[in-house]
Amino acid sequence: MRGTKSYKKHLVKPDPKYNDLTVSKFINYLMQRGKKTVAQKIVYDALDIIKQKGKSNPVNIFKQAIEIISPSVEVKSRRIGGANYQIPIKVDERRQLNLACRWIIQAARNKKGKSMSQKLSEELLLAIDHQGAAFKKKEDVMRMAQANQAFAYFARFI
């Protein structure tokens, strides 16, 4: 059958410290070479740094940063009639979380001179203030979608 998904969705268990699914998924995105305890230590240290900087609940700040960075629209390239068009498409909730986590992690990894937990906490705090590399990436994607709004009618062919 076409159009049906034959795979079973992987259910992620909540993380042990904060008992939160979003933090657990973020840890999985951060993890490299199967080293989950290293990724957990980085995320928990970053959340502790946020707590030390006078913020009340680090998990709420983390979720707020993810929500701010999550894009609602992105562009997909489609070849229609011999020409390539950048078509704006609404983003699914799971993909929003995926993109937001990926952009935050990438922005933190591109910074130099500090530990990963410090870079990650800085990027999360900058995201709350609508600043930082991850927020700039989101704005670029949204600007691209806005510029190509004229091709939105091609979205029905996808």
- pLDDT tens for residues 74-84? 888 888 788 88
Is 3 a residue whose pLDDT tops 90?
no
pLDDT for 156 beyond 70? no
Residue-wise pLDDT for 91-150, tens only, equals 899 999 999 999 999 999 999 999 999 999 999 999 999 999 999 999 999 998 888 777
- pLDDT tens column, 4-53: 776 777 788 999 999 999 999 999 999 999 999 999 999 999 999 999 98
Q: Which domains are present in the chain?
A: 21-157 (1.10.455.10)
Q: Specify whether the CB–CB gap between 134 and 102 falls below 8 A.
A: no
